[in-house]
Amino acid sequence: AVHDASEGGVTRAAIDDDVALATSGDGGKHIRAYDTRDGELLWEGVSYSDAMPSAEARAEREVQIGEDAFVARRDVDGCGDVDVVTLAKGEVVMRSLRTGEVNWRANVRDVAEKAIWERVFVHGEVTYAVGRELETGAPCACAMTTIDGTVIGGQCA
């Protein structure tokens, strides 16, 4: 894998015992996992595509700019591997940390149309995305089931 200088630097990093995850690019677009023992690239992926009309892309950049990554440090969804949950452009994705295989995706954009989703984390059987409403700054939260990403509920205060 070749790092394109246009991606900029690492924007988020998360680590488990033997795997390090790094995101780069606008809004965490590029995701890569490395073996911490020898630095070998285990997998790489793209968290979203830019294939949309330019006016829509501009509007999306203004509100869906948050990104995050959280290593669960356990197999939270029953796939057999330690999992990582990522957040980019209002989409939460649960994947295997070691292989990058996507277990589920959840769209949190529908909870609040003009929210900036900034953090994601797993707590027991629930995965949470939190952020703020763009115009008022009111806190926003969305809860999903950890096993399959079903949105349980969410709102801005």
pLDDT digits (tens, 9 = 90+) for 96-106: 888 999 999 99
CATH number of the domain that 11 lies in? 2.40.128.630
pLDDT of residue 6: 59
Domain assignment of residue 114, given as a range: 5-156
Reported as a pLDDT band with limits 50, 70 and 90, residue 143 is very high
Question: Whole-prediction pTM value?
Answer: 0.77
If one counts every other C-beta atom within 10 angstroms of the C-beta of residue 146, the result is 23
Does the pLDDT at position 148 exceed 90? Answer: yes
Residue 91 has pLDDT above 70, yes or no: yes
Question: In this structure, how many other beta carbons lie within 10 angstroms of the beta carbon of residue 31?
Answer: 24
Structural domains counted in the chain? 1
